[in-house]
Structures are given as structure tokens and as C-alpha cells.
Amino acid sequence: MTDAQMLHWRARYNKNPNSKFEEFVWISVTNSKTSPPKLKETRAKIRPGFAE
């Protein structure tokens, strides 16, 4: 992965202790020329406290 590609990666983490819901999502920009930029979300398989 190049430095330019790395700058486009972001992540989102959600956790709800009441429902035991946990979610980790990688967010990458697929088209920066559009307004707003087009994004791609890739959900990671996680178990409580661990991202794989």
C-alpha cells in the first residue's frame, strides 16, 4: 500500500455494552473526485475485544 492509499483509510468502531453489539468497519475512499467522495465500507470479523 502506498502512502497516498494509506491516507484514504479510516475506521469506525461501535460498541453497545447493553446489547453486546460490537462492530469494526474499515472505510476507504474509492472516488475522491465526486462530491461527497464515494466510500467503501469493509466490516471486520471481531470477537469481544479482538479484531481479526
| Closest to 30 (Cα-Cα) out of 43, 44, 41 | 41
Whether pLDDT at 50 is above 80? no
Task: Pick the more confident residue, 46 or 50.
Answer: 46
Q: Would you list the domain boundaries of the chain?
A: 3-51
**Overall pTM surpassing 0.95 (yes/no):** no
Around Cβ 30, how many Cβ atoms within 10 Å? Answer: 10
Average model confidence (pLDDT) across the chain = 80
Whether pLDDT at 43 is above 80? yes
Hey, what amino acid is at 51?
A
Whether pLDDT at 14 is above 70? yes
